[in-house]
Amino acid sequence: MKVFDKYILKSFLEPFLATFFVVLFVLVMQSLWLAFDEIAGKGIDIFFILKFLVYLALMLTPTALPIGILLSSIMALGNLSENYEMAAIKSAGISLKRVIRPLIFLILFISALNFVFLNNIYPWATLKQKNLYLNMKKKKPALALVPGAFNTDIPGYSIKFEEKYGEEDNLLKNVQIADLSQSKGKIKVITAQKGIISTEEGSKYMTLTLENGNYYEEHINKSMQPKDRAKMPASKATFKTYTINIDISSFNDDDKLDDEKIKEHHGMLSIVQLDSISKVNKIKYDEYTKNQADYFFNILEAKKLYKYPDSLIDTKLDSVILNNFTTYNKSIVLNESIQLLKRTIDHNKNQKISFKDKRKLLNLYDHEIYYRISFSLACLVLFFIGAPLGSIIRKGGFGLPMIMAIIIFVIYFFISKLGGNLSEESAISALFGSWLSTLILLPFGILLTRRATQGMGIFNIDSVLDNIQKLFNKTGNKTTNL
């Protein structure tokens, strides 16, 4: 490799590594912030939080790569132009195409690497992250007894106390406990002057020892009427010490956070798996549409339609024939026809939703297959926009290049989502929807590359002003001739 190529690669890789990790960090923090409300306050171990962040980083790496390439290409070529290195390179007879040639091979390698990542690591990370996030959301909040309020987090119990004190904050003052475990209402109430909480490490039970209190319980059946409850006996007693063992295993179910219940989400599958499931879904979809067509064919008795000519078109309906039917019989025929039509319309409405959902699912899998290929090549497309753009604007650093990179990628991302939504609704094909953003931005990349190669700006202001001047001159000459 020539020294020149090494220098160009170094000029690109230094800002690329910096921008890639910065963008990845921002994307991970944004996703974590959105999920924070769902997982905060549940006593989740830091180990699972770190696993969640690692899975998020692996999922967002394919998105951070194109942004990093776009931003670093603008910065690298902008720095070369700003420091007059590009002018020196051109004066030596080296064209822009020769300058970016080693970078093109590097971007092709990164695009291939991004495709391998999307097809192998991304599905695995999505499987782990989505299941872990779902299990975190379902996990019960961490047990935290608050003084002065009824604590109902523990299943089957309602606990209230005035004050929590002691070195370990495990002593309670003026405790009131309602045992609701039998689902019969508040029929067992325990009060005590003092309570002591003790839990052994690793135990699934919390021991609550009450001192100097009263015990009250009503002996009723669940099926009793409210008026019969007053006639039933009740138990009442006082105690010096009373112990309650409360099951708190549901608050320490970290072993269930790794459960994998969702496995067929389109983001969790490789291209081969997506294609296999898509083929199966297409067979089911064809069978479904055929069954619906047969249903309408049979309910409308289409076999008999050809036997009866349309009397309203070929011949006039003879009023004498209608006179043979009574008004009651005519109303029966009309009502049955109306009811048949209503049933068909209602069936149509109900099946329309099912038909649309099946078609959407089919389009979703097809779009995901093509999108992973097109998104891998997004690195190359965005490079051919960023590199000539940096050469033209002649500005390095994080200022203007960052703004332009964000604007360009937002446009690319918006068009990608638009293509995905349109293909999902069957407005366009899945293939066209997945390549829509690439097809729209690729001509701009070619145009910018040509203008940068020819040493031209993005817009030739002088040419535009000359054309406007010529237009005014022609208009003035025509007015003079008149």
- Does residue 470 lie in a domain region? no
Q: Which domain holds residue 227?
A: 157-252
Instruction: With a cut of 70, say whether residue 467 has pLDDT above it.
Output: no
pLDDT at 287: 84
- Does residue 32 lie in a domain region? no
- Does residue 135 lie in a domain region? no
Please give the distance of CA 287 from its chain centroid, rounded to a whole number: 30
Please give the distance of CA 20 from its chain centroid, rounded to a whole number: 22
Residue 43, Ramachandran bin (φ over 0: left; ψ between -120 and 50: alpha; else beta) = left
CA atoms within a 13 Å half-sphere pointing along the CA-CB vector of 167:
0
Mean pLDDT of 352-358: 79
pLDDT tens digits, one per residue of 365-407? 888 888 888 888 888 888 888 888 888 877 766 677 778 888 8
- Cα–Cα dist 81/74, whole Å: 10
pLDDT, the chain, mean: 78
Q: Which residues pair with 178 in a beta bridge?
A: 158, 189
- Does residue 377 lie in a domain region? no
- Does residue 178 lie in a domain region? yes
Higher-confidence residue: 436 or 140? 436
Per-residue DSSP letter, 151? B
Which pair of tokens denotes residue 407?
């604007």
- Does residue 274 lie in a domain region? no
Higher-confidence residue: 302 or 452? 452
Please give the distance of CA 330 from its chain centroid, rounded to a whole number: 57
- Does residue 335 lie in a domain region? no
pLDDT classification of 462: cutoffs 50, 70, 90: very low
pLDDT classification of 465: cutoffs 50, 70, 90: very low
- Cα–Cα dist 112/106, whole Å: 10
Higher-confidence residue: 452 or 203? 452
pLDDT at 396: 66
pLDDT tens digits, one per residue of 397-420? 667 777 888 888 889 889 988 988
pLDDT classification of 109: cutoffs 50, 70, 90: very high
Instruction: With a cut of 80, say whether residue 271 has pLDDT above it.
Output: yes
Q: Quick check: 64 and 20 in contact, CB under 8 A? A: yes
- Cα–Cα dist 326/444, whole Å: 76
Instruction: With a cut of 70, say whether residue 183 has pLDDT above it.
Output: no
| The total number of structural domains that make up the chain | 1
- Does residue 176 lie in a domain region? yes
The mean-pLDDT minimum among 145-149, 280-284, 332-336, 459-463 falls in: 459-463
Instruction: With a cut of 80, say whether residue 233 has pLDDT above it.
Output: no
pLDDT at 79: 81
- Cα–Cα dist 242/198, whole Å: 14
